[in-house]
Amino acid sequence: MDDAALPSEAETADAPAQTPATHPRAGEQLSGAEMVVEVLAQEGVDTVFGYSGGAILPTYDAVFRYNERERADADVDPMKLVVPANEQGAGFMAAGYARSSGKVGVFLVTSGPGATNTVTPIRDCMADSVPVVLITGQVARGAMGTDAFQEAPIVNIMGNCAKHVFLVTQPERLEETIRTAFEVARSGRPGPVVVDLPKDVQNWVGEFKGTGLLGIRGYRQRMEALRQTEVTEPKAEAFFEMLGSASRPLLYVGGGAIHGEGAEAVSAFAREYGIPSVSTVMGLGAVDTTDDLHLHMLGMHGTAYANYAVEDCDFIIAVGSRFDDRVAAKAELFAPLAEHIAHIDIDAAEIGKVKGVDWSHVGEAGHAMHSLLAHGRRVGFQRDFSRWGQHCTTLREKHPMGFKEDGDWIQPQGVMRALNDITGGEAIVSTGVGQHQMWAAQYLDFRLPRLWMTSGSMGTMGFGLPAAIGAQFANPEALVIDVDGDGSLRMNLGEMETVTTYGLPIKILLLNNNGDGMVRQWQKLYFDDRFSGSDKSLHRKDFIKAAEADGFEFARRCSDREALPEVIRAFVEYPGPAFLEVMIDPDAGVYPMVGPGMGYKQMVTGEHIPSREIPEIGRGGRVDPSEAF
């Protein structure tokens, strides 16, 4: 969006009142680039990820000079500038920083190819509601539209990927634009905001005001209304009337419960009334996965007992979840016995989009759940759901997760179980995308929110390693582990060097099955073993040598099942960067699995997870290959 098209603050009713200029540099003559850096500092930014280039050099120079001026400790920059191997890596680092901290992640790249390399992380952040601000260099205003060197139409390209895009054409409004970008990124349903910044605007010199925001017509009114939205007394009464008439309520918790600071309230609500819960892949950690009444992940590769609970429940309470195709591939088959569905979400567009609901509230998950909890206590609501809770416990006992535990090959599920025994659900874990992602989601525990980072909606291979780097910068004392696959790790392999360059104690656990395992699993089921493009057994990559070349002093390969527990422990406990490659069974599959377009009744549990019934699926099954993925 061109900020020239925005009304002035004087013309905009919802523009915030100006506050006295209290910034120590207010009134000084600064360059546009210096203003950008001062606003970043105002916003509490301590780490910027990015790759430099001609069109963004003034701002990179301003970061250098800011650190020189503000550095209190000779060894610590107040605004760390982290340089990746690739701009896409910078985007995922900013995303990992944001996902693990709840703060806005920031990345800074040059124009043209630098900016276009960030399209994927921007779309990834939009799909998973992650607040980041991307500042892209742009050619000077006079050269725009002339196909100048390293020019790209970022406003047009990013317009369909980001929550909002600003093109700064009026330098006197630069600092307000940067502040507003942060406001938009973090408010409402979080998301990515892009600021396209011409080089001549960075070089422009003007008075730094130290305060002020752009007037965005109607936006602040909507956000303020959203923040103040209460679960009214009649609405709360209607909710508890449905809960009171239910026998088998189930909390269906998504990533919005984490983004909306609702994890504590959801957990308290579940405990208060003894209501079982399930999580989406993005909601893992919103409820402690070790809790007796939590059934872990539901959906296409959810636990059998979670999916059976969905089949059996009579009241779905959806909190920050959106009934996406990985949960409700065929909406009419999802929760077939549910007499009522309640839905809480920050985004009104999600209400009724996929599945009709009987009760809804548009607002922040935490505020809404606290309101319902307070109402229930105020009116003394009581209902005994212990029989239902016992039923869910029995489901877990009868249909536990299981896998092949004998034979020569190391099974990936066993690797995850061994890792979980050490971390106890308290490590920050990122993943790439594929089978390893689902094994990690199924077998690892997450005791708190913001410990689990994965590319959910976009399913972006190459996400895991740079996201782990961002998370480690945000949480320098935390144990951060990237669980990756050989296909995904190759996508951003250059960031291995970034880990050692900055001396980050990240642990990279590579599950190597010499191929794109999830693709291969689908080719087995639906394409008669035609492994087109997915067999990587002839690839010559020696990941251990690659790790050593990038400076990993701990770089080991494990193919011995008996040695695995000891090796995993040594890997996790190593004090610096560590790389462990585990050679796993190339034929291992991800189960349970709900085929595309099917309901949970057709869930396939494989050979090692007891099933309630055995559906027809696989070769000659009823799935159209065109529906794959």
Query: Is 149 a residue of the active site?
Result: yes
DSSP 8-state class, residue 439: H
Mark whether 521 is an active-site residue. Answer: no
Dihedral angle sign, alpha carbons of residues 127, 131, 93, 451: negative
Would strands 554-558 and 578-583 be described as parallel, antiparallel, or unpaired? parallel
Give the β-pairing of 340-345 and 554-558.
unpaired
- Cα separation, 424 vs 71, whole angstroms: 38
150: left (phi over 0), alpha (psi -120 to 50) or beta: left
**11, 70, 149, 237: which is the annotated catalytic residue?**
149
Cα–Cα distance measured from residue 479 to residue 232, given in angstroms and rounded to the nearest whole number = 42
Tell me, what DSSP letter sits at residue 30? E
Rounded Cα distance between 562 and 159, Å, is 53
Q: Residue 262 corresponds to which tokens in the numbers above? A: 């609702």
Q: Which residue in 38, 163, 176, 199 is the catalytic one?
A: 199
**Catalytic residue check, 87:** yes
CA distance 182 to 180: 5
HSE-up of residue 423 (Cα within 13 Å, Cβ side): 29
Of residues 246, 340, 253, the one with CA closest to residue 295: 253
**What is the spatial distance between Cα 609 and Cα 331, in angstroms, rounded to a whole number?**
25
Question: Collapsing DSSP states into helix, strand and coil, what is residue 487?
Answer: helix
* Catalytic residue, candidates 42, 64, 80, 150: 150
Give dist(CA 36, CA 63) in Å, integer.
9
- Residue 258 burial (CB count, 10 A): 27
* Residue the block writes with tokens 């050619």: 139
The candidate with the shortest Cα–Cα distance to 191, out of 136, 263, 255, is 255
Residue 524 tokens read as 């087995």
Q: How many CB atoms lie within 10 A of CB 420?
A: 19
What would you report as the CA-atom Rg of the chain, rounded to the nearest whole angstrom?
Answer: 25
Residues 6+ apart with CB under 8 A from 474: 47, 96, 97, 98, 100, 101, 103
424-444 burial, b for 16+ CB within 10 Å, e for fewer?
ebebbbbbbbbbbbbbbbbbb
Q: Minimal CA–CA distance to 318: which of 388, 262, 273?
A: 262
Catalytic member of 518, 593, 598, 603: 518
Please confirm, yes or no, whether 29 is among the known catalytic residues: no
- The kind and range of the H/E element at 502 are none
d(CA 41, CA 317): 41
**In sequence order, which residues have a C-beta less than 8 Å from that of residue 210 and are 6 or more positions away?**
21, 22, 23, 25, 26, 27, 38, 42, 175
- 227 with 364: CB under 8 angstroms? yes
Residue 495 known to be catalytic = no
The span from the CA of 257 to the CA of 366, in Å, is: 7
Residues marked as catalytic: 87, 149-150, 199, 518
